[in-house]
Amino acid sequence: MSQIKPEIRSRAEAWLTDVFDKETKNEIQNLMENNPKELEESFYKNLEFGTGGMRGIMGVGTNRINKYTLGKNTQGLADFLKKEFPGEQTKAAIAYDCRNNSKELAKIVADVFSANGVEVYLFSDLRPTPELSFAVKHLDCHCGIVLTASHNPPEYNGYKVYWQDGGQLVPPQDKQVVDVINSLEYSEVNFDSKEELIHKIDTDVDNAFSEASVKNGSFDTSASAKENLGIIFTSLHGTSITLVPGVLEKAGYSDVTIVQEQKEPDGNFPTVKSPNPEEPEALKIALDLAKEKNADIVIGTDPDGDRLGIAVPDLNGEMILLNGNHTMLVMTWFLLEQWKKQDKLKGNEFVASTIVSTPMLKNVVESYNVQYHEVLTGFKWIAKLINDHPELDFVGGGEESFGYMVGDFVRDKDAVTATLLACEIAAKMKEEGSSFYKKLLELYTEHGLYREELISLVKKGIEGEQEIKQMLIDLRENPWQEIDGEKVVLIEDYQSSTAKNLQDHTEEKIDIPKSNVLIYYTEGGTKIAARPSGTEPKIKFYISVNADLDSIENHQNVNQELAEKVSRIKKELQIG
């Protein structure tokens, strides 16, 4: 008992009142008596909204995902809706993923909204996140919620919030909503549902979304090319199983093999260490199956169906996992070619990506005389750009973390439509005697070979958070001056919004919202970004190096040299 800090004890004791149920109180008592460390982790702060909504470990406490923290969020949102749309019948759409407790938490969110007079459209079963983004607009809702922690480990859950346009909350609403939530007491949350305000949704929205996906993810690839494409698909125990097989069939793909061991939705993700297509291990079963079946493409989506991992044959026919940058480059090239062919490039189109994604994309996009815009990490910022620039046509957007969005019919990354686009490209390339991978290499010969690596260092809990903060403070105090023998020429600090040119000692203002991100550029074209993850307890370093590639035949040598360069950099900077 004596080990509990007084402020933690008082925060925990506030949860021992009648506002909270017996189970919660028992668990808190238990932690107080037996596990003060866990009590502190659970109560030392309130959960916050990050890159993609609010995420946390499930359990009791203010720093955990539970009925009370999400109830308070929802009460705050309902209060905000009332203020923002006075006199209107407000409406909210709610979806949930395969995680443990997602369904129950979705019902609680529906209860609190309805208790406050908000009309609720609740999916009758699990669905991918992009379908919720679609549903918000389709059903003319004022906001939307998805209960999901995306690809985080099984002990996590979360709460993604969408606004009227189908994009996740961004300024100015994000701060306004958070202020209302923070001003509430737990006792002010109304859980008394009005069942007559809760409507179940499923097939109608599914059909509309599937149709829109097929339309947006299909171009001029022939029916025979599609039939000839061998596809292996895995939903990694997640939500995309509800839609992807159906849209592939609708779009004309007949040779689709679903990874059976991973098709059942399961919040424990029993066949993978992490249900994240960014981790090579996640696609292992699918890759083995691809070998056996001699398939042309492997696709795996994350639990909430918004990010996708792809593997395709390299020039020797060996399956190779692509990273988010690779996929984004080929997809964007393909979309630009299609727009060009359809005579739709008029000079007011744009492609968007994030500051930690490959700088090569800019070169590809601008070679089509299309505008390239860069935003902070988080697809919500890409969605915001679309809103902020009604005068521009959005072609597509992506980010290094395996997310892509085709056109603007949904306002978040969408692995359903992106799966169709990946198959469209692979089928067409195969028919033309080329390949998805060869196309990537051709882009390298035109724009240089870019090699990117992400290093994520996991640092959990209170101490981890402190350590991550300190690492960035240290970097600011002692910035890298030279990296792999190349002088650092520019340092961007997105927290102070300054770009320091170390050569002419000038300083420019960065004109995007503040964020704890540092980016270094060297005279040789190396780019290194550092930031804390906004979804997981990690610090992330993004390394990008590049070199000219004169012919495809040389790609392995050049790639090898760049891999060695990245290794040297990691060693020198002591990151991973």
Ligand X SMILES: O=P([O-])(O)O[C@H]1O[C@H](COP(=O)(O)O)[C@@H](O)[C@H](O)[C@H]1O
Q: Which residues bind ligand X (CB under 6 A)?
A: 51-52, 150-151, 302, 306-307, 377-379, 399, 401, 403, 533-536, 540
Instruction: With H, G, I as helix, E, B as strand and everything else as coil, classify residue 103.
Output: helix
Q: What is the 3-state secondary structure (H, E, C) of 392-455?
A: CEEEEEEECCCEEEECCCCCCCCHHHHHHHHHHHHHHHHHCCCCHHHHHHHHHHHHCEEEEEEE
Q: Kindly tell me which residue out of 27, 40, 302, 349 binds Mg ion, with binding defined by CB under 5 A.
A: 302
235 is a contact residue toward Mg ion (CB under 5 A)? no
User: Which of ligand X, Mg ion, none interacts with 41 (beta carbon under 5 to 8 A by kind)?
Assistant: none
62 or 401: whose CB is closer to Mg ion? 401
75 or 301: whose CB is closer to Mg ion? 301
Q: Kindly tell me which residue out of 41, 206, 304, 408 binds Mg ion, with binding defined by CB under 5 A.
A: 304
Rounded Cα distance between 565 and 134, Å, is: 43
Q: What is the dihedral of CA 66, 415, 390, 340, to 10 degrees?
A: 170
94 or 566: whose CB is closer to Mg ion? 94
Q: Kindly tell me which residue out of 306, 349, 414, 424 binds Mg ion, with binding defined by CB under 5 A.
A: 306
Kindly identify the residues of this chain, within the stretch 136-165, that bind Mg ion according to CB under 5 A: 150
User: Which range of residues in 304-312, 391-399, 445-453, 461-469 is near Mg ion by CB under 5 A?
Assistant: 304-312
361 or 549: whose CB is closer to ligand X? 361
Tokens of 308: 């996708």
Residue type, 189: V
141 or 146: whose CB is closer to Mg ion? 146
In this structure, are strands 449-458 and 482-483 parallel, antiparallel, or unpaired? unpaired
Taking the alpha carbons of 408, 410, 411, 417 in that order, is the dihedral positive or negative? negative
Least distance to ligand X, CB of residue 237, Å: 15
Least distance to ligand X, CB of residue 195, Å: 31
Q: In sequence order, what are the beta bridge partners of 521?
A: 490, 527
Least distance to ligand X, CB of residue 444, Å: 24
In terms of Cα–Cα distance, which of 250, 252, 270, 254 is closest to 262? Answer: 270
Rounded Cα distance between 244 and 189, Å, is: 37
Least distance to ligand X, CB of residue 128, Å: 11
Rounded Cα distance between 495 and 516, Å, is: 5
160 or 428: whose CB is closer to ligand X? 160
Least distance to ligand X, CB of residue 375, Å: 10
Instruction: With H, G, I as helix, E, B as strand and everything else as coil, classify residue 148.
Output: coil
- What is the total residue count of the chain? 576
Tokens of 289: 């199956």
User: Which of Mg ion, ligand X, none interacts with 378 (beta carbon under 5 to 8 A by kind)?
Assistant: ligand X
User: Which of ligand X, Mg ion, none interacts with 275 (beta carbon under 5 to 8 A by kind)?
Assistant: none
Annotation says 150 is catalytic: yes
Rounded Cα distance between 3 and 369, Å, is: 63
Tell me which of 42, 133, 150, 240 is the catalytic residue: 150
Tokens of 390: 């009604």
Rounded Cα distance between 295 and 230, Å, is: 5
209 or 379: whose CB is closer to ligand X? 379
Which residue's Cβ has the minimum distance to Mg ion?
150
Least distance to ligand X, CB of residue 160, Å: 7
* H-type alpha helices, 35-66: 36-43
Least distance to ligand X, CB of residue 230, Å: 27
**DSSP E strands, 127-285:** 143-147, 156-163, 198-201, 231-234, 256-258
Query: What residues contact residue 49 under an 8 Å CB cut-off, 6+ apart?
Result: 161, 169, 174, 178
Annotated catalytic residues are 150
Binding site for Mg ion (CB under 5 A): 150, 302, 304, 306-307
